[in-house]
Amino acid sequence: MANLSLAHLRLTPPKILSLGFILLIAAGTLLLSLPAASTGGRISFIDALFMATSATCVTGLAVIDTGTELTVFGQVVLLVLFQFGGLGFVTMATLITLVLSKRISLKERLLLQESMNQNSMQGIVKLIRRVLIYSLVIQLSGAILLAARFLKDMPVGKALYYGLFHSVSIFNNAGFDLFGDVHGPFSGLTRYVEDPIVNITSMLLIFLGGIGFIVLSDVVDFPKRKRLTLHSKVVLSTSAALIVTGAAVFFWLELNSTLKPLHTGGKIMASFLQAITPRSGGVTTIEIPLLRESTQFLMILLMFIGAAPGSTGGGIKITTFALLVVTVYARIRGKEDIVVFRHRISKDNVYRAITMTLLSLILVVTATMLLSVTESADFLTVLFEAVSAFGTSGITMGLTPELTTAGKILIIILMFVGRTGPLTLAYAIKPKKNKELYRYPEGNITIG
C-alpha cells in the first residue's frame, strides 16, 4: 500500500483499481508463460494472457485444462491470482500493511472505499479486517469439508490440495477446477452431481462469496444490532428470490431431460446449484451443452444479473437488477417516489442503475456480434460465452477451448470489464468533470 500512496495525485481510485488489475494480469501472464507452469512445455502468450485474465477477474473460462495442462506451479499461480482478484488487490495489499503494522493513509482509504463500493470511508479499515477474517475462516472451512470428501477418491496429500484449491476457487467465484486430472479434461464436478457434501459446500461457498463482504459483516452483527441495513435487505431478499425462482424453473425445464436419470434429492441439489452458480460461481454438475435452449437462456439471464456489489462476483449486480424492477413497478403504479423497504431511493441511484445496465447491454451485444463473425458457432452459444465472460461466471458451452485468437482477445476484454465494472472503467477514463455554468430549457419527448 505504501507504493499506492505515492501514485500520481491525478490517478483517481477507479484508475488505480483498473491499473492494479492490469498489473496483476501482466504478472500472471509472465509466470504462466514460463516452461515450469505447463506440463507440455511453454504455452502461447495469448493462452497465458487469457488464463491470467480469467483467474484475476475470477471468471473461470479456460482455453486449456487446468488439471492436465498446468503443473502444480501453474495451478498455484492461478490460485494466487484468483485469491487476489476475488478479494481485490487493494484489500490484499491492506492485509500486508496491517501485518506490518503500518498506518493506512487517506489516499489508501479512498482506494479501499472504491474497491468495496462503499459510500463512506468511516469504518473502512475495520470492514477490511473483517473481510479478511471471514474469507479465511470460510475458505478454510470449505477446504476441510471438501478434502474430507475427496479422501474417498484420492490420496491424503492430493485430497488436501484439491480441497484447498477448490474451496478458494469456489468462494472467490473463480470456477477453476482440477478434476480434468481425475475424470478427464474439462469434466468439472459432473461426477459429483448427487454428492450432498460437494453440492451443499459449493452452494454455500458461492453464496457467501457472492452476497458481498458488506452484507456478510452486517449478517454477523445482526444478533447484536437486531437490524440489517437497507443494502443487506435488498441483496438477501433479491438473492433468495433469484435462487428459488431459478431452481424451480430449472427443475421444471430439465425434469424430463438432464435431471431424469437422477434421484429426487439429486434433482433438487442439481437444480439449486445450477441456479446459484450462474451468478458468478462457475462450477457446474450438469453438462451445459446438454441443457435445453430455454434453460441455457435462463442461465444467460442469471449470469447477466450476477452477484452483489463488493463481492467476488460480476454482472450488473443484484442491487442494480432490484432497483430496475422496483423502478418499473413504481412507474406502472404511477408513483413519483421509488420506495424499497420503506426507504426512498434517490434519483442518482436510479440513473446509475440504468446507466450500468445500458453500458453492459451495449458491451455484451457488441461483443456477441463480433464473436459471431470470428467464431464458427451458433448464436446462442456465442451469446452464452459473451455473457459468461462479462458476468465472470466461467460457465461454458464448450466454445472457449475452440476460440480463435480474435475471439480470445474479445473474451479477455469482456472478462476485464466485467470484473472492474463498466461504470468504474468509465470513471477511470473519463475527463475531469467541469461545473456546468448554464442549463438548457426543458423539452418533452413522446415515449411509447
Predicted confidence (pLDDT) at residue 246 exceeds the cutoff of 60: yes
Question: Tell me: the pLDDT tens digits for 160-198?
Answer: 999 999 999 999 888 898 988 877 778 788 889 999 999
Confidence band (pLDDT; 50, 70, 90) for 405? very high
- The answer to whether residue 398 scores a pLDDT higher than 90 is no
Per-residue confidence band for 4, with pLDDT thresholds at 50, 70 and 90:
very low
- Quick one: pLDDT at residue 97? 47
- Whole-angstrom distance, CA of residue 203 vs CA of residue 272: 8
- Spell out the residues 6+ positions from residue 180 whose beta carbon is closer than 8 angstroms to its own: 65, 66, 67, 68, 69, 186, 187
Tell me if 434 is assigned to some domain.
Answer: no
Q: In whole angstroms, what is the distance from residue 7 CA to residue 41 CA?
A: 38
443: in domain? no
Confidence of residue 292 (pLDDT cuts 50, 70, 90): very high
Residue 437 lies in a domain: no
Highest mean pLDDT pick, 36-45, 87-96, 103-112, 199-208: 199-208
Percent helix, strand, coil in the chain, to 5, is 65, 0, 35
Q: Is the residue at 448 inside a domain? A: no
Q: Determine the pLDDT at residue 8.
A: 43
Helix (H), strand (E) at residue 343: strand 343-345
Could you tell me if residue 313 is inside a domain?
Answer: yes
Give the residue-averaged pLDDT of 89-95.
52
Give me the mean pLDDT over the 107-132 stretch.
Answer: 58
> Measured between alpha carbons, how far is 203 from 194 in angstroms, rounded to an integer?
13
pLDDT score recorded for residue 5: 45
Q: Which residue has the higher pLDDT, 437 or 124?
A: 437
Q: Which residue has the higher pLDDT, 116 or 412?
A: 412
**Mean pLDDT along residues 378-406:** 92
Domain count, the chain: 1
Q: Residues 295-333: pLDDT tens digits?
A: 999 999 999 998 888 777 788 889 899 999 999 999 888
Percentage of residues of the chain with pLDDT beyond 90: 47
Which range has the worst mean pLDDT, 180-184, 249-253, 374-378, 391-395?
A: 180-184
Please give the pLDDT value at position 112. Answer: 53
Mean pLDDT of the chain: 84
The three cell numbers of residue 115 are: 474497491
Higher pLDDT, 6 or 222: 222
- Residue 231: band (very low, low, confident or very high) from pLDDT cuts 50, 70, 90: confident
pLDDT, mean of residues 66-82? 93
Q: Half-sphere exposure of residue 280, counting CA atoms within 13 Å on the CB side?
A: 38
DSSP 346-366: PHHHHHHHHHHHHHHHHHHHH
**Length of the chain counted residue by residue:** 448
Q: Quote the pLDDT of residue 379.
A: 93
Report whether pLDDT(3) > 90: no
Is residue 433 domain-resident? no
Residue 113 belongs to a domain? yes
Confidence at 92, pLDDT banded by 50, 70, 90: low
Rg of the chain taking only CA atoms, in angstroms:
22
What's the confidence (pLDDT) of residue 7? Answer: 43
Structural domain span for residue 225 = 2-428
Question: Does 317 map to a domain?
Answer: yes
Q: Which pLDDT band, with edges at 50, 70 and 90, does 2 fall under?
A: very low
Which of 90-104, 143-157, 419-433 tops mean pLDDT? 143-157
Range with lowest mean pLDDT among 87-91, 199-203, 238-242? 87-91
Instruction: Summarize the confidence of residues 242-250 as an average pLDDT.
Output: 96
Alpha helices in 211-346 (DSSP H): 213-225, 230-254, 264-276, 293-305, 318-332
How far apart CA 49 and CA 59 sit, in angstroms, is: 13
For residue 89, what pLDDT band results from cuts at 50, 70 and 90? low
CA-CA distance, 217 to 236, in Å (whole number)?
A: 13
Query: Helix (H, G, I), strand (E, B), or coil: what is residue 339?
Result: strand
- Neighbouring residues of 302: CB distance < 8 A, sequence distance ≥ 6: 242, 246, 275, 278, 279
314 backbone φψ class: left, alpha, beta (φ>0; ψ -120 to 50): beta
Query: 3-state DSSP call for residue 119?
Result: coil
